[in-house]
Structure 1
Amino acid sequence: MPADPADKSGAAARTARLERKQWLAQRLETLLEGDPALENRFKAVRAFGSGVRISEYHLTNACNIRCDGCWFFAFGHDKASTEAKSLAAWEDFIEAQRKKRVNAALLIGGEPTLFLDRIEAFVKRMRYVTISTNGYKALPNDERFRDVGMLVSVFGGGPLDDELRAIKPGGRRFTGLFDQALRNYRYDPRPTFVFAVTERSVPYVRETVRRIHENGNRVTINFYSEYNTSHPLRAANQRRLLDEVMEVKQRYQDTILSHPEHIAGVLTGKAWCGEFSGQTCPSVSSDHAANSERVRNGNAVLPFFNTYKPDLETLEVCCTSGHCDGCRDSQAVYSWQVVSLEKSLQSKENLQTWIEVAESYWSQFIWTPFHWSKKDGARLQRPTQAAAAGAPRHSAVAA
């Protein structure tokens, strides 16, 4: 493989980039030779992905619950900046982002659904919009938000979800948060449930996925990083948890969108393309001074990516907490795998894995041509009147 242009400057860097591009094209031609179906899949997913330029925005410091272990509140992000209140300020900010060639927005919080007008401002000005939500308050399924992607949190599964998430801002506990999210988005193609499993989740993985399946939705696997412990990523029963999730993936292949390599990456930090860490995670703010060394270390980053606090000025270090040793965020792991094309060219098998992982990543978002509902023969079966009244329900299936 040619030298990394990150190690060079000026004319030498330009020459290195050209040599790298030529090597990449030749290697891809060799690996895809004689397999037009795989070549077409590669071209389709690469062409779409290269046109998405995303940044992340903290839409608000406010939230209607206080999940145990939520990095946003655990590390005081809600107190680290003020919040722009004027809708006009948000609109001007979004226009400025567009001029920077950003065309995709991931809206997090706090809780984005508390400010529908701000979400709508992004929808009117950005080509692709996704929100990360706790699921407690529904995003209306009307013309304003019909093409908005959604990542809906679930922690632990079973009774653990209420234990970890069903907490009001004042500390009062309640029950039925997951039930509420299921009611909000039953047979709605927009949401992907993001199921953050922990070593305590083993007895609840199958039942949680089954309920999502019967609700007509899809799910991807995340890891619950216990930031309030000294070893947030040390799971004593990691092997048992991984085996259980993989077994449930086999049972609900169409419902769990995560590719097996993504599941392995989230739960172990390792995949076919290497090891996930702060030095390889691509979801870092490219304009943040603290990331200058990371941007130049030769590992891929997301072009144009930045994470903004709700004051519309201050940059976060990365897409989540900024505490890399305690993070294995599912979307960051997915991004790491998707930008690892060059590390996937050792063999045709690795390239096919990259293609499958990239397809599964984009299948989460309703605004992509790879969304699960747009597969040939896919259909969303809605409940009959009898089912809505409590009779056995149909589920969303891919024919």
Structure 2
Amino acid sequence: MSSRRLRLVRLSALLKAAPHLAAPYEEAKRVVRAFRKPAFYEVATRCNLFCEGCYYFRDSFSPPVEETDPAAWERFFEAEGARGVTMAYFVGAEPALEQDRLFAASKHFPYGNIGTNGTIRIDPAIPYRIGVSVWGVDEEVDASLRGGRSFHKAIRNYAGDPRAIILYTLTRSNLGDARRLAEICRDNDLPLTFNMYSPTQSYLRKLQEGEGNDRTFFRISSADSNLRWDEDSLSEVRLLMPRLMDEFPETVVYSRAYNAWATQPGPLYDIDPETGIARDCHSRMIGQMRYFKTDMRPGAEKCGTSDAVCSECRMYSGGWSSKFEPRDEDVRDEAALTDWLEMITALGRIFLIERPAEQRLTVAA
């Protein structure tokens, strides 16, 4: 019997023994169904910030020839919708700079997730979840990590917007801002979740080669002072997150089980020793996953954030997508299954919002 089949047998036995978990499990299946056929779409190659260790502007970055015809984008997204894509991730440098493309996409995908730095408000008619990336509350921390002050603009732009969730990228240098951020999000009717900075190949190369600082994406880091995690800082995050969840239960959208997993020392994934690539990360461009560049052609990306170093990756996109299906440890006993269900509940709240009834598209069973 295959390992997957064994997990299903174990899952069935656990649900039979704990019938109170049946309803949460059915809801978990509904959440996961929305991600059944995902795709990543770069919709912008421009950005108005210079984030330290940027995920997008890697070494020798050369943007593709960009399609600028709105009608071509409309046809492209129509074809992707017909292909059955259920969840569209809109990425790139800064998607808010190309909102016509987001409008075109909104006609064809039932669910979408837009990653933005928050400095430009996305039109209220675009009905997708908006992950507003924040790196610091203190103006000096904010400016040093992002190359410009962006935090207060983001809060002003999205306060009370039901599409928005603040995505705080945790680093070793900004943990002290986390509680203050939770207060601000509470007071501005904004849910809050967390990402953990994960170094890119470009960033690690600059550290390892002792490259001097520049005026763009490597302004403040050095071999002795940088954004990489160590056991002490991981332990600090592991203790901090449950405290914030307890203190701000209506604001912080996270999971204790996920936090325990994401802050464990060492690699989170099964790393291929020859390639250095994670074999079990569900953000990989394998199976039904696709990644399209701004020329509308499939990119040869290894994952949704291709320059990230797999052995040090704690990025929320890869982490959460790797929880869609319970693993052996998730069906060990009732407590483990309860933890997995808690993670899927949080995942749904982070990535999904329901469209207005008049704009709702059907998700096939």
TM-score by length of 2: 0.81
1:199 match: 172
Counterpart code for 1:163: S
Which residue, out of 119, 124, 130, partners 2:102?
Answer: 119
| Cα contact 1:155–1:224 (8 A) shared by 2 | no
- Relative to 1, partners in 2 of residues 1:51 and 1:334: Cα closer, same or farther, differing over 3 Å? closer
**8 Å CA contact 1:344, 1:350 repeated in 2:** yes
Q: 2:172·2:229 contact (CA, 8 Å) conserved in 1?
A: no
Query: Separation in 2 of the partners of 1:191 and 1:262?
Result: 21
Give yes or no for contact 1:84–1:310 (8 Å, CA) kept in 2: yes
Per-residue CA shift, 1:69-108, capped at 9, x if unaligned?
112013455x142211111221222222223321221101
- Say if 2:121 is the partner of 1:132: no
Letter in structure 1 aligned against 2:288: F
The reply on whether 1:89 has 2:69 as its aligned counterpart is no
Q: Secondary structure at the match of 1:89?
A: helix
Aligned residues of 1:307 and 1:317 also touching (Cα < 8 A): no
| Contact 2:285–2:302, Cα closer than 8 Å, also in 1 | yes
Counterpart AA for 1:191: A
Structure 2 portions without partners, runs of 5+: 209-222, 272-277, 356-365
Distance in structure 1 (CA, Å) of the matches to 2:184 and 2:311: 32
Aligned to 2:321: 335
How much is the aligned-residue C-alpha RMSD, in angstroms? 2.4
Q: Which of 304, 324, 344 does residue 319 from structure 1 map onto?
A: 304
Gaps of 5+ in 1: 5-19, 168-173, 287-302, 370-399
Percent identity, please: 24
Give distance in 1, aligned partners of 2:21 and 2:85. Answer: 30
Question: Which whole-Å CA distance do the structure 2 matches of 1:38 and 1:26 have between them?
Answer: 16
Question: For 2:247, which of 238, 242, 251 is the aligned residue?
Answer: 251
1:39 to partner: Cα distance:
0.5
Conservation of the 8 A alpha-carbon contact between 1:223 and 1:267: no
On the 8 A contact 1:201/1:241 being kept in 2, the answer is no
TM-score (ref. length: structure 1):
0.74
Whether the 8 Å contact between 1:156 and 1:224 is mirrored in structure 2 is no
User: How many Å separate the matches in 2 of 1:313 and 1:351?
Assistant: 40
Q: Aligned residue for 1:164?
A: 145
The CA deviation at 1:338 is: 2.4
Deviations 1:41-84 (A, max 9, x none): 1012213412432111111111122212112013455x142211
Residues 352 and 118 (structure 1), Cα distance of their counterparts in 2 relative to 1, 3 Å cut: same
Q: CA 1:81–1:326 in structure 2 vs 1: closer, same or farther (change >3 Å)?
A: farther
Distance in 2 between residues matched to 1:280 and 1:233, nearest whole Å: 22
Alignment partner of 1:71: what SS?
A: coil
Are 1:240 and 2:205 counterparts? no
Distance 1:241 1:349, change over 3 A: closer
Larger Rg: 1
SS of structure 2 residue aligned to 1:28: helix
Please tell me whether the aligned partners of residues 131 and 151 of structure 1 are also in contact (alpha carbons under 8 angstroms): yes
Deviation at 1:261, TM superposition (A): 2.1
Pick closer, same or farther for the CA change 1:138–1:368 going to 2, 3 Å.
Answer: same
Looking at structure 1, the residues matched to 316 and 162 of structure 2 have their Cα atoms a distance apart, in angstroms, of: 20
Give the number of aligned pairs. 322
Query: Aligned partners of 2:114 and 2:13: how far apart in 1?
Result: 39
SS of the counterpart of 1:364?
A: helix
SS at match of 1:132: strand
Q: Which residue of 1 aligns with 2:353?
A: 367
Quick one: distance in 1 between partners of 2:325 and 2:288? 14
* 1:186 maps to which of 159, 167, 187: 159
Paired amino acid for 1:161: D
Contact preservation (8 Å) 2:290, 2:298: no
CA distance in 2: counterparts of 1:201 and 1:245, whole angstroms: 14
1:161-199 deviations in whole A, cap 9, x for unaligned? 22211x3xxxxxx43x11110000111111111111112
* Residue equivalent to 1:32: 15
Which residue in the other structure is 1:149 paired with? 129
Q: Which residue of 2 aligns with 1:354?
A: 340
What secondary structure sits across from 1:106 in the alignment? strand
Q: Does 1:73 align with 2:68?
A: no
> In 2, distance between residues paired with 1:326 and 1:86?
39
**Higher RCO, 1 or 2 (CA under 8 Å, sep at least 6)?**
2
CA distance in 1, matches of 2:314, 2:270: 8
SS of 1:26's partner is helix
Q: Is the contact between residue 107 and residue 130 of structure 1 (CA under 8 Å) also seen in structure 2?
A: yes
State which drifts further: 340-349 or 65-74.
340-349
Structure 1 letter corresponding to 2:171:
T
**Contact map agreement 2:87 2:109 (CA 8 A) in 1:** yes
Distance 1:210 1:276, change over 3 A: farther
Letter in 1 for 2:341: I
Distance (Å, rounded) in 2 between the aligned partners of 1:25 and 1:276: 22
CA contact (8 A) 1:266 1:328 kept: yes
The 1:305/1:44 distance shift into structure 2, 3 A limit, reads: same
Equivalent of 2:38 in 50, 54, 59: 54
Residue 309 (1) aligns with residue 274 (2):
no
Cα distance in 2 for residues equivalent to 1:154 and 1:122: 25
